[in-house]
Amino acid sequence: MNAMTEMPAPLVFTDAAAAKVKTLIDEEGNPDLKLRVFVSGGGCSGFQYGFTFDEVVNEDDTAMQKDGVTLLIDPMSYQYLVGAEIDYQEGLEGAQFVIKNPNATTTCGCGSSFSV
């Protein structure tokens, strides 16, 4: 039995983000890696986003598939990320994953901290 909860996409995982994650996973040489996005307390505005690779899918995780990449979200983070967009952007400031979150009432200039 599959431990992942399959639900309608709670957020947008852009083609650019999926492609970058796929490249990073290929570089690691471990096809079992999945990208976990999470929200934790801290940062300038009260909450901050985080990304990590994970081989473990927890029973209560929400999983999204895009272009052969699996994105995992834990239940606590899910409530803050519904409706958000995860993108990968390259610009003059460098390259980074960016979360555009309509639930955030305040965001920090660093782009990784927010409040609701």
Mean pLDDT, the chain, whole residue set:
84
- What is the pLDDT, as a whole number, of residue 107? 61
- Host domain of residue 93: 5-111
Whether residue 66 is contained in a domain is answered as yes
Residue 29: the pLDDT is 96
Phi-psi region of 92 (alpha: psi -120 to 50; beta: other; left: phi over 0): alpha
- Do 77 and 39 form a contact (C-beta atoms < 8 A)? yes
> Cβ distance 8 to 62 under 8 Å?
no
User: Residues, the chain, total?
Assistant: 116
> Is position 60 within any domain?
yes
Is position 83 within any domain? yes
Say if strands 106-107 and 85-91 run parallel, antiparallel, or are unpaired.
unpaired
Asked if pLDDT for residue 7 goes beyond 70, the answer is no
> Quick check: is 63 in a domain?
yes
**H/E element, 6:** strand 5-6
Give a yes or no: residue 82 inside a domain.
Answer: yes
Residue 72 domain-assigned (yes or no) = yes
Beta carbons within 8 Å of 27's beta carbon, 6+ residues apart: none
The pLDDT of residue 94: 87
Q: Is residue 116 part of a domain?
A: no
* Number of domains, the chain: 1
CATH number of the domain where residue 101 is located: 2.60.300.12
36-40, 68-72, 99-103, 107-111: least confident range: 107-111
| Cβ atoms of 72 and 3 closer than 8 Å | no
What tokens appear for 9 in the block? 């996409």
